Amino acid sequence: MLGKEQKIRPEDAETIIGAGVKVDGTFTAFGNVIVKGQLLGSLTTESDVNIKEGGSVDADIKAKNATIAGKVDGNLEVDEKIQLASSAKVMGDINCNVLSIEEGAILQGSCNVGKEEPRREVEAEEEDEE
């Protein structure tokens, strides 16, 4: 409708860094971020990050989920799942709950995968008695 302002929730917003675009600095978003170009600095979003083939990120990334088909030179801290496509090249440490790596992907760094389960009280009590 004309004249009626449409409200967009921040979590529904999507940012695309196009193939011919270079972003340098601290990049913070609430919605999904797609990188087809180049990003230098840091990238933080409350939603998902998708680094497309040909996309390049020289930054630490914090996100809910991440799909990597391009190049990342930096650490990834993801709440849920990281997917590395066969064309992915990641040079940095990974922290996530679930990690999926296609054949051909390159990963140079350490991986911490899975959430550490809290110790049960019974186990803690048994250790205290010893």
- Tell whether 1 is covered by a domain: no
- Asked whether 80 and 64 are in contact (CB, 8 A), the reply is yes
| Angle at the Cα of 112 from the Cα atoms of 106 and 114, rounded to 5 degrees | 115
- Asked whether 64 and 81 are in contact (CB, 8 A), the reply is no
The tokens for 109 are 């760094």
- Provide the greatest CA pair distance for the chain: 73
- Tell whether 103 is covered by a domain: yes
Tens-place pLDDT, residues 9-62: 545 558 989 999 999 999 999 899 999 999 999 999 999 999 999 999 999 999
- Tell whether 5 is covered by a domain: no
Domain interval for residue 68: 10-129
- Tell whether 124 is covered by a domain: yes
Query: Is 90 exceeded by the pLDDT of residue 122?
Result: no
Higher pLDDT, 8 or 46: 46
Query: Is 60 exceeded by the pLDDT of residue 109?
Result: yes
Please tell me the predicted confidence (pLDDT) of residue 115.
75
Nearest of 85, 123, 81 to residue 106 by alpha carbon: 85
Q: How confident is the model at residue 8 (pLDDT cuts 50, 70, 90)?
A: very low
Distance CA 16, CA 126 (A): 53
- Tell whether 4 is covered by a domain: no
Distance CA 84, CA 119 (A): 31
- Tell whether 71 is covered by a domain: yes
Tens-place pLDDT, residues 68-102: 999 999 999 999 999 999 999 999 999 999 999 99
Distance CA 59, CA 25 (A): 9
- Tell whether 3 is covered by a domain: no
- Tell whether 34 is covered by a domain: yes
Please tell me the predicted confidence (pLDDT) of residue 56.
97
Total structural domains within the chain: 1
Distance CA 45, CA 28 (A): 6
Nearest of 116, 122, 82 to residue 102 by alpha carbon: 82
